[in-house]
Chains A and B, each alone.
Chain A
Amino acid sequence: MSRPQRIVVVGNGIAGVTAADALRSAGHDGELTIVGDEQHPAYSRPALSKALLNDVDDTTSHQLPEASHEATELLGRRATGLEVDSRLVMLDDGERLPYDGLVIASGCRARRLGEQDSGEITLRTLDDAIRLRGRMAGRPSVVVVGGGPLGMEIASGCLAMGCEVTLVSQGAPLVPQLGSYVSDIFVQAAQAMGLNIVVTEQATVHRSGDGTRVVLSDGRHLDPELVVTAVGDLPNVEWLGASGLLRGGALVVDSRGRLRPEIVAAGDVATLSTPRGIRRIPLWTSAIDQGRAAAAALLDGDAATPLEQRQYFWTEQFGLSLKAAGHLPVDGEPTWLDGDRDAGTALLRWELGDGTASAAAINYRIPVPRLRRLCEVAA
């Protein structure tokens, strides 16, 4: 197989940038073009809801070192279509980019709960984060809808800013993502800091006069000064609608990130086959691993190393930091490996019964490689 000469990367997030870097490292010295729909250079998305929300004096915590791929960067432009047979990417300004190799890393956007005019704020992009910081500065009363890690991080940031905060959650926060044991620890810390948690089966968001109203299942409604929703993300695949690449609306890649020999996908937009089903893995380290694997597959085909699926997740909220490796959520009581109950530090491990384990470190410094080793099977 001859290597592609002209490569286009759609998406300037961490998956796209990593793929571009990896293409160069692997010797691609032909044309390389990156299309990004934001004006900003690539940044660290995890920081948007962590350091960038919590540290009002530091507005640089999302910045990444300058890219080294020396690609032609087309920023502030969006891919609107793909012609697979003629190998063309269409852009919103009418330009058509020919390619021999294509990396699809168009990412996700925030799912909204209400209509366009609902007034809800979401947090997905750097511009979203800047807008949210601006709104938080006036110390409004806040309702955060969504009890996942992102909703909890936003609630934590708003509380730290001095806002009165209510979190609306389907069931106890963090249970679907982390499991009930870890959820309990975080919910206790959140409530101790003054977070008001409202559990509801369903919530809807509507424009109400000048404001935004959150309506709960039992008919009660909340009318805060600021509503932030964090209810999941949607893959940006609409531009691929006529490409023939989607299966059931999803971009399902093979074990090396490929859709076709000359088209790969990586990051939040890609759907993977995992031991626990067909799913997307919208995590920082997975986006990086996927970007690398996809770049290798684009250049070397079957000779490339398949993606090694390893999970690493972290969050910071309510004065707690969590680092976790292995499958999440985890059920039941963990084994306590180390830590100090009085100081609130813990290193925990759950055996999953399938020969693997999950490990979590709470306010406990541990290098990722060590955390991962705890997930390997005990003989």
Chain B
Amino acid sequence: MKILLDRPRCEGHGLCEEAAPDLMHLDDEGELVLDRDEIDEAERAQAQAAIRVCPVAALRFA
């Protein structure tokens, strides 16, 4: 499974990074970087938490 980022929506809060530090991070410019192409089942809960916490719904499962 994959996470999709809707970049124009992202406001750089970084709440997703806090929820899923293994899967994504904000770079020095505050732009979100997805660190994995594929999410495995063990990481699903972390990915779900990151998607849920985004107040502008910039993330979703593909």
- Contact check, B18 vs A369: say whether CB atoms are below 8 A apart: yes
In whole angstroms, what is the CA distance A285 to B53 when docked?
A: 7
Bound: A63/B15 CA distance, A = 17
Alpha-carbon separation in the docked complex, A372 to B21 (Å): 15
Asked if residues A366 and B30 are in contact (CB atoms below 8 Å), the reply is yes
Residues 343-379 of A, flagged 1 when their CB comes within 8 A of B and 0 if not, give 0000000000000000000000111111110000000
Find the A residue at minimum CB distance from B19: A288
In whole angstroms, what is the CA distance A64 to B61 when docked? 12
Q: Is there an interface contact between B45 and A25, defined as CB atoms closer than 8 Å?
A: yes
* Range for the number of chain A residues in contact with chain B: 20 to 34
Is A186 an interface residue, CB under 8 A from the partner?
no
Which residues of B sit under 8 angstroms from A284, Cβ to Cβ? Answer: 55
Taking the nearest CB of chain A, how far is it from the CB of B51, in angstroms? Answer: 5
Whether A365 pairs with B12 at a CB distance below 8 angstroms is yes
Question: A59: shortest Cβ distance to chain B, in Å?
Answer: 13
Question: Which residues of the partner chain A approach B59 to less than 8 Å between Cβ atoms?
Answer: 65
Known: A25-B48, A365-B29. Is A47-B56 also a contact (CB below 8 A)?
yes
Q: A33 CB to closest chain B CB, in angstroms?
A: 19
Give CA–CA (A44, B51) in the complex, Å: 12
Tell me, yes or no, whether A314 is within 8 Å of chain B by CB.
yes
CB interface residues, A 297-327, toward B, < 8 Å: 312, 314, 321, 323
| B17 near A369: Cβ-Cβ < 8 Å | yes
Judging by beta carbons under 8 Å apart, are A367 and B55 in contact? no
* Interface membership of A255, Cβ < 8 A: no
Check if A44 sits within 8 Å of B48, measured CB to CB.
Answer: no
A261 is an interface residue with CB less than 8 A from chain B: no
> Contact between A21 and B14 (Cβ–Cβ < 8 Å)?
no
Q: Which residue of A lies closest to B14 (CB)?
A: A367
Is A339 part of the binding interface, using a Cβ–Cβ cutoff of 8 Å?
no
Q: Say if the beta carbon of A68 comes within 8 Å of chain B.
A: yes
Complex: how many Å from CA A367 to CA B57? 16
Which of B9, B18, B45, B48 lies in contact with A368, CB distance below 8 A?
B18
Give B residues with C-beta under 8 Å from A. Answer: 9, 11-15, 17-18, 21, 25-26, 29-30, 45, 48-49, 51-53, 55-57, 59-61
11 A-B pairs besides A65-B51, A284-B55, A368-B17 with CB distance below 8 A are A21-B48, A44-B55, A61-B9, A63-B57, A64-B57, A285-B15, A288-B53, A314-B13, A365-B30, A366-B30, A368-B13
Sort A-B residue pairs by CB-CB distance and give the 4 closest, nearest first. A365-B30, A367-B14, A367-B26, A65-B60
